């Protein structure tokens, strides 16, 4: 089985949230009590029981409102800094599935302290990991590697009725993403781009500034004070050094970008 990747074309997302519901159904995740917080996006953020979340963003475009949808999830980094951060404390809390490349959090994450979890989350440039404080388990998207091993699509991709979500062998997904960017640029979308394609297995396509979709849409987005403060804690042993180096590189890229 070849290395796998998602291709997520946000231009085709209608925010039906079928992917969000399918993820909960397959992973047997409970619904969350939500409130009206001024957005159609619900729940307001990812959690230990919400691995997939369609984010809503309204952007002022000179008197016109652009409404962007972003089906957020773990990017399944090729060199995952969360794994390096976890291994500073415990081996095999985070593993990489050899057949798909999925980054998987195991039951061993229960053994990581709340303070260790903060470092694992801080290491992620996409702000993905979440922890169940009652059980200690750290969770996120698994790429539905169990389904993929049996020749099935991830649940979110299977449920997508607009073609916004695709999944397959990594070279094919990269080629599809690059073709789609060229197509959109030919239609006048000069800012069309794919995000962090060389380093992740969940490849997003956007047609505007990534920050217009989500502050953590790309690793080059503003990391924020929390991540800067987390850097000293990550320099703990070899694994911590790798994670810290990854974050330093991301922050330097952020300083050099518009």
In tens digits, the chain (258 residues) has pLDDT values of 569 999 999 999 999 999 999 999 999 999 999 999 999 999 999 999 999 999 999 999 888 999 999 999 999 999 999 999 999 999 999 999 999 999 999 999 999 999 999 999 999 999 999 999 999 999 999 999 999 999 999 999 999 999 999 999 999 999 999 999 999 999 999 999 999 999 999 999 999 999 999 999 999 654 443 344 344 444 444 444 444 444 444 434 433 433
Chain centroid to CA 34: how far?
22
* Cβ burial, residue 231 (10 Å; 0-12/13-18/19+): middle
162 and 118 belong to one structural domain: no
- In angstroms, the CA 21 to CA 25 distance is 6
152 and 65 belong to one structural domain: yes
> Which uninterrupted H or E stretch holds 202?
strand 202-206
- Tokens linked to 148: 């993929």
170 and 194 belong to one structural domain: yes
Structural domain contains residue 206: yes
Structural domain contains residue 15: yes
184 and 203 belong to one structural domain: yes
CATH at residue 89: 3.30.70.20
- The count of structural domains within the chain is 2
Residues contacting residue 189 through CB under 8 Å, at least 6 positions apart: 11, 207
9 and 111 belong to one structural domain: no
Which residues is 69 bridged to in the sheet?
56
Structural domain contains residue 217: no
Chain centroid to CA 178: how far?
19
119 and 61 belong to one structural domain: no
102 and 46 belong to one structural domain: no
Structural domain contains residue 171: yes
pLDDT at site 132: 98
pLDDT at site 221: 52
* Cβ burial, residue 85 (10 Å; 0-12/13-18/19+): buried
Domain residue limits at 230: 81-140+222-256
- In angstroms, the CA 200 to CA 5 distance is 8
Structural domain contains residue 109: yes
58 and 186 belong to one structural domain: yes
pLDDT at site 227: 43
29 and 54 belong to one structural domain: yes
15 and 105 belong to one structural domain: no
pLDDT at site 236: 47
- Tokens linked to 198: 């060389």
- Residue 122 CB neighbours (<10 A): 25
62 and 170 belong to one structural domain: yes
pLDDT at site 61: 87
CA nearest neighbour of 138 among 120, 125, 126, 163 = 120
129 and 9 belong to one structural domain: no
């Amino acid at each position: 089985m070849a290395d796998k990747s998602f291709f997520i074309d946000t231009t085709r997302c209608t925010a039906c949230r079928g992917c969000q519901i399918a993820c909960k159904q397959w992973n047997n995740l409970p619904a969350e009590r939500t409130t009206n917080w001024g957005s159609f996006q619900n729940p307001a953020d990812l959690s230990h029981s919400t691995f997939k979340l369609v984010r809503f963003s309204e952007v002022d475009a000179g008197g016109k409102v652009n409404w962007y949808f972003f089906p957020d999830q773990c990017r399944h980094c090729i060199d995952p800094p969360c794994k390096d951060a976890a291994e500073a404390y415990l081996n095999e809390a985070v593993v990489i599935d050899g057949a798909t490349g999925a980054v998987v959090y195991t039951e061993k994450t229960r053994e990581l302290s709340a303070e260790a979890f903060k470092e694992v989350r801080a290491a992620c440039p996409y702000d993905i990991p979440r922890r169940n404080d009652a059980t200690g388990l750290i969770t996120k998207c698994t790429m539905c590697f169990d389904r993929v091993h049996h020749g099935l699509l991830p649940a979110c991709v299977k449920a997508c009725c607009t073609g916004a979500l695709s999944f397959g062998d990594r070279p094919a997904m990269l080629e599809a993403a690059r073709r789609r960017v060229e197509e959109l640029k030919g239609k006048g979308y000069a800012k069309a781009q794919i995000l962090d394609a060389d380093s992740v297995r969940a490849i997003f396509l956007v047609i505007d500034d990534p920050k217009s979709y989500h502050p953590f849409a790309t690793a080059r987005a503003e990391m924020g004070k929390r991540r800067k403060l987390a850097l000293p804690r990550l320099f703990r042993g070899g694994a911590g050094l790798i994670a810290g180096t990854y974050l330093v590189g991301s922050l330097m890229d952020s300083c050099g970008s518009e």
